Amino acid sequence: MNTVRVRFAPSPTGYLHVGGARTALFNWLFARQHGGVFVLRIEDTDLARSTEESTQAILDSLQYLGLDWDEGPKKGGSFGPYFQSERLELYKKYANQLMEMGRAYKCYCTPEELDKKREEQIKRGEGTHYDRHCLHLSEEEKARLEEEGRIPVIRFKSLDEGVTEVDDLIRGLVRFDNVAQVDDFVIMKSDGMPTYNFAVVIDDALMQISHVIRGEDHLSNTPKQIQIYQALGFPVPKFAHIPMILGPDRALLSKRHGATSVMQFKENGYLSPAMVNYLALLGWSYDDSQTIFPIPELVEKFSLDKVSKNPAVFDIQKLDWMNGVYIRELSLDDLFTEVKPFWQKAGFIPEEVSSELKDYCLRILKELQPRMKLLSESVEAARYFFTDDFAYKPEAVAKVFSKPQTEEILRYAADAVAGAPELDEEHLKPVFQAGLEKFGVKMGDLMQPLRVAVTGTNVSPGLYEVLALLGRDRVLKRIDRTLNMLKERS
């Protein structure tokens, strides 16, 4: 009886963006916590903008985030179909029922006529609402209009008095004046499709949705929907309107703020659990100390009454930090699994990785792990481990190779490397230190030129580790190459 049934109902008119993902996440968490059902429904009633690619992109995005649905596309369920475009008969049936009850009527007004009336209402300082011009049309008038070729829409006849209350789980009681706030809105368009405010009610009612968790942008539409529930005698679900996500300029988060598509985040190297963790914290918090929440803990601790009422600015820097935290928590093996596609795409490693190569990768990753925020960063950071043909970073050359004695120091380092039984700190450091006295310089003045010589950059993991990974041959070749370059330059 009290089964929790929630749903995520995106319209396939583009990629899933982080706002939608966050809504999906809150629904999913709520369902999982209560042992309920998470339904995925595709709201594709906008014929002009809905595409199959978008549907697929949404499915892929949810999968990446690990938000599995119990009923919906590719999964089925006993409340289907789960595409609104396949539920047209249902909407028609209930629209007719409303008309028979006298709670809906055909309207022949053209968009132009309606626009004009709206403008006048605004000019007069009134709220905008349909003037019920078509409510009292006689059968003859209707027939005449249809002969003219006008195709009617169906409007809901809203209540003439009183207020409609939305008892929101997050915002508390919100009251709307029926006359001023609930228009005789269109429920069936002239193309035979239902409008959002109608279809959402029919579907949520028929799918026995118990809690409607959605963005705050739907709060103002809720009284309209509640009137439909009531007119049709459907039980009204509980509502929870979660705050919007904004960009740094406090405008609604959109493409112009940068990446907003979930798949884009995946491609940029964000780990799924980091993404989920960050999204969960946008508008929700647990206490005054914890910020890292593994998914099972989220399922356990999430609650709607800890959801904030104010809109949240999407902070990419915090997401980056969090991604770094999750990267550092990965085992090297798991990190390799995550990094693999990036390295394959860069041509560093083949499709099939030998155990010897994997071992090498793991050793590299051990050094890179504490320095990574994004998986994608590992490509540039690891380039010199996979190719000898790397470019020297101009800033590094300018800064490091401009010092006196550079070439002598590099030659000394080459000798040290050539003579050391092992390329590690234990064997190299004493030799390097001896060099410092000889040249009258500090450790950095020796290590930095050597670093640039073997990596092409002045920023890398610990040099001893890098040298050991590269091996004697490659190190000596690279020092040679650098020396030649310096000679040619002067």
- Which residue in 35, 102, 111, 440 binds RNA (CB under 7 A)? 111
User: Which residues ranging from 35 to 54 are in contact with RNA (CB under 7 A)?
Assistant: 43, 45-46, 49
User: Which residues ranging from 197 to 256 are in contact with RNA (CB under 7 A)?
Assistant: 197, 216-221, 243-244, 246, 250-252
Nearer to RNA, 306 or 345 (CB): 306
- Any contact of residue 138 with RNA (CB under 7 A)? no
User: Which residues ranging from 373 to 402 are in contact with RNA (CB under 7 A)?
Assistant: none
Which of 463, 462, 475 shows the shortest CA–CA distance to 414?
475
CA angle 178, 183, 185 (to 5 degrees): 140
Structure tokens at 106: 């055909």
- Which residue in 138, 317, 355, 490 binds RNA (CB under 7 A)? 317
The count of residues interacting with RNA (CB under 7 A) is 91
Find the shortest distance in angstroms from Cβ 234 to RNA: 19
Structure tokens at 139: 């059968």
* C-alpha to C-alpha distance for 118 and 126, rounded to whole angstroms: 9
- Which residue in 30, 105, 156, 176 binds RNA (CB under 7 A)? 176
Relative to beta strand 37-40, strand 5-8 is parallel
Cis peptide before 81 (omega within 30 of 0): yes
Region of 66 please: left (phi>0), alpha (psi -120 to 50) or beta. Answer: left
Nearer to RNA, 71 or 184 (CB): 184
Find the shortest distance in angstroms from Cβ 358 to RNA: 23
**Contact, 64 vs 262, CB < 8 A?**
yes
**Contact, 461 vs 368, CB < 8 A?**
yes
Find the shortest distance in angstroms from Cβ 272 to RNA: 19
Catalytic residues: 255
Question: Residue 8's beta-bridge partner residues?
Answer: 40
User: Which residues ranging from 51 to 110 are in contact with RNA (CB under 7 A)?
Assistant: 109-110
Binding mask 396-435 for RNA (x = CB under 7 A): -----------------------------x----------
Helix or strand holding residue 197 (H, E): helix 196-206
Find the shortest distance in angstroms from Cβ 487 to RNA: 24
Distance of CA 123 to the CA centre of its chain: 41
Candidates 90-98, 123-131, 383-391, 405-413: pick the segment binding RNA (CB under 7 A). Answer: 123-131
- Checking 256-263 for CB contacts under 8 A at 24+ apart, the result is 257/314, 258/316, 260/17, 260/18, 260/19, 261/15, 261/16, 261/17, 261/57, 261/61, 262/15, 262/16, 262/17, 262/18, 262/21, 262/61, 262/64, 262/65, 263/15, 263/16, 263/57, 263/60, 263/61, 263/64
- Any contact of residue 297 with RNA (CB under 7 A)? no
- Which residue in 312, 353, 357, 485 binds RNA (CB under 7 A)? 312
* C-alpha to C-alpha distance for 466 and 469, rounded to whole angstroms: 5
- Which residue in 88, 90, 114, 299 binds RNA (CB under 7 A)? 114
Nearer to RNA, 74 or 250 (CB): 250
User: Which residues ranging from 318 to 377 are in contact with RNA (CB under 7 A)?
Assistant: 318, 320-321, 324-325, 328, 370-371
Nearer to RNA, 208 or 291 (CB): 291
**Contact, 218 vs 200, CB < 8 A?**
no
- Which residue in 279, 282, 335, 420 binds RNA (CB under 7 A)? 282
- Which residue in 335, 447, 475, 479 binds RNA (CB under 7 A)? 447
Helix or strand holding residue 188 (H, E): strand 186-188
Structure tokens at 249: 């300029």
- Any contact of residue 189 with RNA (CB under 7 A)? yes
- Which residue in 56, 63, 308, 344 binds RNA (CB under 7 A)? 308
- Which residue in 463, 469, 475, 479 binds RNA (CB under 7 A)? 463
